Amino acid sequence: MSCTTVLVGKNASNDGSTMIARTDDGHFDVKKMTVVRPKDQPRKYTSKISHVTIELPDDPISYTSCPSVDLKNGIWAATGINKANVGMTATETITSNPRVLAADPLVEYKKATKRGEKDIPGGIGEEDIVLLVLPYIRTAREGILRLASLLEEYGTYESNGIAINDENEVWWMETIGGHHWLARKVPDDVVVVHPNQFGMDAFDFDDAFGEKKEHLCSEDMLTFIAENHLDLNQNGKKNPRDIFGSHSDMDHVYNTPRAWFLGKFLAPNTYKWDGEDADYRPDSDNLPWCLVPERKVTVEDMQYMLSAHYQGTDFDPYISRNTGKRGMYRSIGINRTGITSICQIRPYAPEPLKGIEWVCFGPTTFSAMLPLYTYVNKVPAYLSKVTLDVSTENLYWASRLISALADTDYANNIQQIERYQNAILAKGRALIMEYDEKMKVCEGLLTEEANEKICKMVKEQTTDTLGKILLQVSQNMKNGYHLADN
C-alpha cells in the first residue's frame, strides 16, 4: 500500500522508547483492532492473493492485529505488538527498478490456463507478513531473520519495507526482487522517514558478511549485484538506493516531497530546505534516509508527522490562496487511510506494560490518536466491533465521518479538530500514567480495564466533536438563507 513510515531509535525519543509508525493507506479499507490469541492463530495458512500455503509453528504467542473487516482479499493484519513486547508494521510498498526485477523477478500467482495444468502459487506479501512473523518472535532481530527465511523459501510478489522493534532496537528490512533482501538496525539516535520508495542510502556490507551486528542481507547479495551489473555507484560507494531503487519523475511528486517535509520538521536548522541554494528540495533524489532530530521526538510529534499535508508551504492543499502549487504533492495525511499506528516499546515499564500501541482510524489529518495497552486478551468493542455498514458506534466510521465533514470547510473546522486531537492525547496519556501507577501496587493486571476507560473517553470526545463539526458544516450549506421564519 502507498503508506508513510516513521521510525525512532531509543535515544531519539523523549522517554527512551523505540517507536515504529505507519499510515496504512489502502483504498478506504474498513479496519478494526483485535487480539489474536494462540488458539486463534492458524497452523496452516493460505494467502487469498497469492494462494501460497504455509505450515506454521505450533507455539504462537498472542499479538494485537489491525485486520480488514471484509476478509474477501485476506486478513491484512497491518501492525501489532506481541506479548513479548515486539512491535511490527508491514508493509511500506517501495519502488525498485527494471534491472533488479529482471534479475530476480517477483513471484506472482499464475492461474492455470489449460485443462490439466495446475495453478502456480505466488509468494508472500503485505496481506500475509504480520501474521506469518509477529506471533513467533521475541526480538526485532529474530523477526528479520524469520521473515528473511520466508522470503528466501517462498519469495514475494511485491516490493516492500518492513519495520520491527523491541525495547532496545528498531530494524528495517527492504525486499529486493522476488527473493533478496537487505536489513539494517536503525541507529539509536536517529529518526527514519520512509515514503513509498527504496530508502536505505548506506549499508555496511563488511558488517553484513562479518559480525552481522547492525546489517543483514541475503547470503549471495554481493554476487547478485556483481553478476547482474546492478551497482551504479562511483568511487567505491555502496549506496543501496542507487543499486536497487528508482529515480523517477513520479518519485518527485509522490515520494520525495514527503521525506523533504518531514526532514524539514525534524532538522530545520541542520540543513537548508528552501530557496535556490537549498541542500534538499522536494524533488531531491538524495534526501537522507535517517536524520538526528534537533530535539527529542514525542508521540505528539509522530501524530503531527503522520498527519502532515505541507502546512506552511505553497503545496498545502488546504491553503486559502491559489499558489499555483497547491495540492501538487501527495500528502502524508491522505483521505484513504484505514488505520495508523505507533508501536511504542517503553523500556522503563514493567514487562506486561512495556507495549503501548497508539492507533488512529481514518484520515490522520482529522482523526485522533489514542493509546492502548497491548498485554491483553481482548480489545474494546469501540475498536473491535466494526461493521461494513456506517455506524457511529465504532471509532473507524466516526473518524471517517468527522474527516469527510471537516475537509469541506477546513478553515472553520481545523481549530475544533486540533482541540479534539489534543484532548485525546492528553486524556489518553493521563489514563496510561494513572494505570501505570495503579498496577505498581495492585495484584493482577488492569490493562483491559484501562483500555475500556480510554475508549469510553474517546467515544465521548468523538461524539461531541462529530456534533460540533456537523453543526458547523450544516450552517454553511449552499441552500442556507439568512431570512428566518421564526
Residues 6+ apart with CB under 8 A from 170: 7, 8, 9, 10, 18, 19, 20, 140, 163, 164, 185, 186, 192
Q: What is the pLDDT of residues 212-233, one digit of tens each?
A: 999 999 999 999 999 999 999 9
Judged against a pLDDT cut of 70, whether residue 440 lies above it is answered with yes
Place of cell 495484584: 443
pLDDT at site 15:
98
pLDDT at site 183:
98
How far is it, in rounded angstroms, from Cα 224 to Cα 215? 17
Which structural domains are found in the chain, ordered by start? Answer: 4-365 (3.60.60), 386-476 (no CATH)
Rounded to the nearest 5 degrees, what angle is found at the Cα of 130, between the Cα atoms of 287 and 224?
A: 55
Contact 310, 257 (CB under 8 A): yes
Going by the DSSP 8-state scheme, the letter that residue 43 receives in this structure is S
Residue 39 phi, psi (nearest 5): -70, -20
Q: What is the mean pLDDT of the chain?
A: 96
How far is it, in rounded angstroms, from Cα 159 to Cα 147? 14
Whole-structure pTM value:
0.97
Confidence tier at 485 by pLDDT (50, 70, 90):
low
Judged against a pLDDT cut of 70, whether residue 306 lies above it is answered with yes
How far is it, in rounded angstroms, from Cα 12 to Cα 19? 10
How far is it, in rounded angstroms, from Cα 367 to Cα 361? 7
Q: What is the pLDDT of residues 390-433, one digit of tens each?
A: 999 999 999 999 999 999 999 999 999 999 999 999 999 999 99
Cell for 10?
Answer: 531509543
Q: Which residues, in sequence order, are bridge partners of residue 184?
A: 172, 215
Cell for 2?
Answer: 502507498
442 assigned to active site: no
User: Residues 278-295: what's their mean pLDDT?
Assistant: 97
How far is it, in rounded angstroms, from Cα 279 to Cα 277? 7
In the chain, the percentage of residues whose pLDDT exceeds 90 is 94
Concatenating the DSSP letter of every residue in 436-447 gives HHHHHHSSS--H
Confidence tier at 1 by pLDDT (50, 70, 90):
low
Q: How far is CA 16 from CA 12, 13, 298, in A?
A: 7, 5, 10
Cell for 466?
Answer: 462529530
How far is it, in rounded angstroms, from Cα 134 to Cα 117? 35
Kindly give the residue spans of alpha helices, DSSP state H, lying in 161-230: 205-208, 221-227
